[in-house]
Amino acid sequence: MEALIHDFKRALAERNGYDLAATITPVPPPKDAGRLYAFYRSTNSFSVQSDIRHAITQGRGLHLAKVESAAWVDVFVAYWKAVGEILTAEEITRQGHKEADWAKVYIAWKDVVNNLIKGYSNAHFPAWSIPCLYAAAKYLRTFAMTADERASKNKGSVSFNTGFQDDVVDSLGKNEKLEDAARQINRIFTLCISDRESLEDSRKWALYYVTNILFKTYFKLNAVGLSKNLLRSLHASRHDMPSLDVFPKSHQVTFKYYCGVLSFLDEDYKQAEEHLTQAWRLCHRGAKKNLQLILTYLIPCHLLTTHTLPTAALLEPYPHLQRLFTPLATCIKRGDLAGFDAALIAGEEEFVKRRIYLTLERGRDIVLRNLLRKVFIVGGFEPLKEGETEANRIRRTRIPITEFCAALNISMGRREGESLDNDEVECLLANMIYKNLMKGYISREHGKVVLSKGGMAFPGTGV
């Protein structure tokens, strides 16, 4: 206990919020792996309150108001109880004789969170100590997911600090603890956004971190609509809080990423592209996992907004994205409809999990455009007119529908008897013209498509 309280007092004296948060973190520091055991064994349930009060109030140099001192005692008492539950659960998990009760861990850590909220609300914990709220919210969410997984009888040894898939809906049973965690973290959000102190001493500096934790939690619960409530609250308070660009870059990147994903799910791809591009530019180049998550949504955005495909150089550091997107990109370039459909099916599970399947499916229009463009190019040029030079030849712009029909049947792998007829092809061509992926009109009387001249037949491609 002495070592932990010593670090607590030092952090208070130095006004170091992150060092202060480290004293109530359920992960021991690398330099002192046995800290949690030592802290828990330094007292017992009968004398923990008095022992911690004595440890905090004794000695010189630390001047805390009586109310603040009592609030920190309550926090550390709750922390001591939570550490006991954590150590018990981990010991049972290691032994493997029976299932650890991680629900007790969650409930104990929830008490830590509640005492911290009381400390900020009633005892006026200083704003520089808000990293304590970061640690409280982060581990509340993690313990909740672990408890729910155990309750769903998902066998296997999973420690409380194991990495989890953010952005992925948990389909195993109910998420009772995670739903409760979302409510508790939302209390922290309210605690911060309602602070009326001056910005220098405001808890609003914790807003984007807490918002990001809530984003992760709501996405895990498939409650994306609740994320929009957060954005509305932030927008309503925008005049009373610091601008996003003065927050830590890590907070900015995560916030922009989730804003981009929300716009993506609303099919506002231009807005999504803007947010995701900002996240990409701000993200640390060494954060490969985060960069991969951003690209997972940015690549489909580019496909629909600018009709651009990821380069091999861009995907090279991300083998997982290479496996997902390279087959699709290859088929799009070739105009290979059958190959594109096969690549979509091959990656369907991951695409659906990441909520990008329907967006990628719209890329089929680009495959079709590229196929029709190839037919147009292969069609050659119109015969030279009198006085016309080779350099001034005009590309043939009247293409028989039968040529498009043949190309489509080959690309789609249609067998004899399954071939598209001219009416079906005309319908596809009309859609392409309507979507401005192809400029011209259909002359049914002559059975031809009349395309625009001067490199405007397929806008944006130079043809």
Q: Give residue-wise pLDDT tens across range 343-395.
A: 999 999 999 999 999 999 999 999 999 999 998 888 776 665 666 555 556 67
Task: Give the tens place of pLDDT for each residue, 414-426.
Answer: 776 678 888 888 9
From residue 97, give the alpha-carbon distance in Å to each of 91, 92, 94, 100.
Answer: 10, 7, 9, 9
Structural contact between residues 449 and 443, judged by C-beta atoms closer than 8 angstroms:
yes
DSSP 179-227: HHHHHHHHHHHHHHHT--S-GGG-GGGGHHHHHHHHHHHHHHTT-HHHH
Annotated domain spans of the chain: 1-153+172-247
Task: Give the tens place of pLDDT for each residue, 297-315.
Answer: 999 999 999 889 999 999 9
3-state secondary structure of 306: coil
CB neighbourhood size of 449 (10 A): 27
Beta bridge partners of 443: 448
Task: Give the tens place of pLDDT for each residue, 102-145.
Answer: 999 999 999 999 999 999 999 889 999 999 999 999 999 999 99
Residue 398: which H helix or E strand, with range?
A: strand 398-400
Mean per-residue pLDDT, 339-346: 93
User: Which pair of structure tokens corresponds to residue 145?
Assistant: 């997911």
Residue 413: closest CA among 329, 334, 339: 339
pLDDT (0 to 100) of residue 94: 86
Cα separation, 354 vs 365, in Å, equals: 21
Task: Give the tens place of pLDDT for each residue, 161-181.
Answer: 444 345 544 444 478 999 999
Residue 412 has pLDDT above 80, yes or no: yes
pLDDT (0 to 100) of residue 369: 92
For 454: left if phi > 0, alpha if psi spans -120 to 50, otherwise beta; the answer is left
Task: Give the tens place of pLDDT for each residue, 31-83.
Answer: 888 999 999 999 999 999 999 999 888 866 577 889 999 999 999 999 999 99
Task: Give the tens place of pLDDT for each residue, 235-273.
Answer: 998 888 889 999 999 999 999 999 999 999 999 999 999
CA atoms within 13 A of residue 312's CA, in its CB half-sphere: 2
Give me the numbers of helices (H) and strands (E) for the chain, helices first please.
21, 3
* CA Rg value for the chain: 30
Residue 17 has pLDDT above 70, yes or no: yes
Phi, then psi, of 265 in degrees rounded to 5:
-70, -25
Residue 160 has pLDDT above 50, yes or no: no
Does the predicted model carry a pTM greater than 0.95?
no
Going by pLDDT thresholds of 50, 70 and 90, the confidence category of residue 287 is: very high
Mean pLDDT of the chain: 88
Going by pLDDT thresholds of 50, 70 and 90, the confidence category of residue 3 is: confident
What amino acid occupies position 296?
T
3-state secondary structure of 135: helix
Maximum Cα–Cα distance across the chain: 107
DSSP state of 395: B
Over 236-256, what HEC string results? Answer: HCHHHCCCHHHCCHHHHHHHH
Residue 274 has pLDDT above 80, yes or no: yes
Phi, then psi, of 449 in degrees rounded to 5:
-110, 125
